[in-house]
Amino acid sequence: MGSLHDYIIEITAQHDALKPFAPENGQPLRFRIGDAVIYTNDAGLQFRRRVTGFYRPAEPSGLYARGARYLLNSSSPWMPISESSLRPDDSA
């Protein structure tokens, strides 16, 4: 891989071939706008959040190809989060 652009093209092609994530794989998204969730970051820290929207890029996106679908009410509301990093917040 020579560049970030090449990387995005490669993982987007893998995503398009395998369709590993909802909704492309025929499964519905697990969460809806307004749902209370617990987000676990890469360091294992957990945060109570709400789903504020869905990430739908107009151009090929490495984040989308890696499963990022959700936008949350956070200090980085533009950064999409993968479903695998979320679980329902039953205490809400």
SS3 4: helix
Which residues are bridge partners to 51 per DSSP?
72
pLDDT of 55 reads 97
1 has a pLDDT exceeding 60: no
Beta strands in the chain (DSSP E): 36-40, 46-54, 68-72, 81-82, 86-88
* Residue ranges of domains in the chain, CATH in brackets: 4-88 (2.30.30)
pTM of the complete model: 0.87
